[in-house]
Amino acid sequence: MHNGNHDVIVVGAGFAGLACAHEIAKAGRRVCVIDRKRDLGGRLHTTGILVEEALANPLFTDLPAGIHHSVSSVKLYAPGLESIELTAPGYRFHTTDTPALMRWLGEQAVTAGVDMRLGCAFREAQATAHGWHLPGVGQCRYLVGADGARSRVAAYFELGRVRDLLHGVEYEYDGAGLRRPDALHCFISRRWAPGYIGWIAQTPRGVQAGLAQRLRPGAPPPDVAAFLAHVAPLVGLSIVRKPDSIRAGLIPCGGPVRPRVGRHVLLAGDAAGVVSPVTAGGIHSGLRHGAEVGRALGQALDSGIPPQASSIRAIPAWRRKRALRWAFDHLQWDWPFDLLLKSPPLRRMAEQIYFHRRGRAPSSP
Ligand SMILES: Cc1cc2nc3c(=O)[nH]c(=O)nc-3n(C[C@H](O)[C@H](O)[C@H](O)COP(=O)(O)OP(=O)(O)OC[C@H]3O[C@@H](n4cnc5c(N)ncnc54)[C@H](O)[C@@H]3O)c2cc1C
């Protein structure tokens, strides 16, 4: 038990906060992570699909096998429900038993020496000569806000705020199965998911099906029930019962916020807007960014020189993806996808988005 003095306090035990804390603990520094949740597996706001690169993250080296399920292809459906299948050699997505994953990640952090305080929300901080004092938690040299898209840390310290958001809602059917459990089923449709897509995936626990759309004032929330009534038979999903649980949340889609660094305070992950504006994947980028913030803080603590925003790598500019986001927001019609889904240019674009150029057309029949 220590005296309440920490080198770093991280707010948020999500992917970014835990990756950050691991790096700081690895550097032999005292790090405390606080999270307002009492159970890291509870009240989740993510589908939890990992891209191949995320699974290769050292944090997942000893990930228990039952926690993830490999998916080798993407089945992309046009609004009229015609589909193409996309694959890339050796590339997989990994759906997860996300509650078990988050609990496991939390346990790993504790084993690595992180002082984990659950059920502890960030509300305020008082400046000290060398950093911050958080009432009820202790003092620190540096504070990291890894507290998600609606970061209270960003608001409190008047750092950059996430303004552009997608709204995602997902139903979970425990024990359910899909006809093609090896595929991630993605649905383009302006009707069901304006500005994003719908998805259905097999997980180790059952089936997850969701929609995300651009968050606009006054717009009704995504209607997952109606979407499923339309597409469930196509993937062999029976939805005669109510979902066992619902996940929902906001996803940054406008690129990194500015500023991300203040006086002895930094933002990481969703709080910093580090999420792909097109795919809305934020787990891999959050893990990388959180780790990079942690490394920069390790160096700052060694050198006594506070980190600069420019010294923290792992912030992609996402210029092309931001352009695509603009196009999706302003020019999304259904008919071009119905007409062009099977054309080589559209297939190539989809492969680039899903597999970052590693895609290839499945061998022709
Ligand atoms: C519906 C949905 C589906 C998604 N699906 C995917 C996907 O399949 N794959 C993918 O790569 N990305 C997905 N994303 C995006 C991805 O989930 C996020 O980018 C990622 O979880 C961000 O991690 P993070 O650690 O930055 O923030 P979060 O995961 O949001 O973690 C923030 C943590 O901070 C805690 N917290 C918040 N406020 C406070 C406070 N005041 N005090 C203390 N603690 C606080 C929260 O309890 C939480 O544990 C999805 C997002 C949504 C909303």
What is the 3-state secondary structure of the chain?
Answer: CCCCEEEEEEECCCHHHHHHHHHHHHCCCCEEEEECCCCCCCCCCCCCCEEHHHHCCHHHCCCCHHHEEEECEEEEECCCCCEEEEECCCCCEEEECHHHHHHHHHHHHHHCCCEEEECCCCCCCEECCCCEEECCCEEEEEEEECCCCCCHHHHHCCCCCCCCEEEEEEEEEECCCCCCCCEEEEEECCCCCCCCEEEEEECCCEEEEEEEEECCCCCCCCCHHHHHHHHHHHHCCCCCCCCCEEEEEEEECCCCCCCCEECCEEECHHHHCCCCCCCCCCHHHHHHHHHHHHHHHHHHHHHCCCCCHHHCCCCCCCHHHHHHHHHHHHCCCCHHHHHHCCCHHHHHHHHHHHHCCCCECCCCC
Query: Which pLDDT does position 324 carry in this prediction?
Result: 85
Per residue in 80-102, pLDDT tens? 999 999 999 999 999 999 999 99
Taking only the tens place, the pLDDT of each residue in 102-127 is 999 999 999 999 999 999 999 999 99
Whether 172 and 205 have beta carbons less than 8 Å apart is answered as yes
User: pLDDT for 296-339, tens place per residue?
Assistant: 999 999 999 999 888 888 777 788 888 888 888 888 899 999 99
Model pLDDT, residue 357: 57
58 or 240: which leads in pLDDT:
58
* pLDDT beyond 50 at 3: yes
Confidence grade of residue 240 (pLDDT, cut at 50, 70, 90):
confident
Predicted confidence at residue 227, as pLDDT, reads: 97
Residue to substitute in 283, 287, 353, 356 for testing ligand 1 pocket (most ligand atoms within 8 angstroms of CB): 283
Return the domain boundaries, the chain: 5-36+119-163+254-319, 69-93+165-252+333-355
Superfamily holding 5-36+119-163+254-319: FAD/NAD(P)-binding domain (3.50.50.60)
- Output the CATH code of domain 69-93+165-252+333-355: 3.30.9
Model pTM?
0.95
The pLDDT value given to residue 206:
97
Q: Is 11 in the pocket of ligand 1 (CB under 6 A)?
A: yes
**204: pLDDT strictly greater than 70:** yes
Q: Inform me whether the pLDDT recorded for 20 exceeds 60.
A: yes
In ligand 1, the atom with minimum distance to the C-alpha of 49 is 8
Residue with tokens 């930094």: 266
230 C-alpha to ligand 1 centroid (Å): 29
> Whole-number mean pLDDT of the chain?
93
Instruction: Return the residue whose CA atom lies nearest to atom 50 of ligand 1.
Output: 46
Q: Is the CB of 170 under 6 A from ligand 1?
A: yes
pLDDT at 361: 46
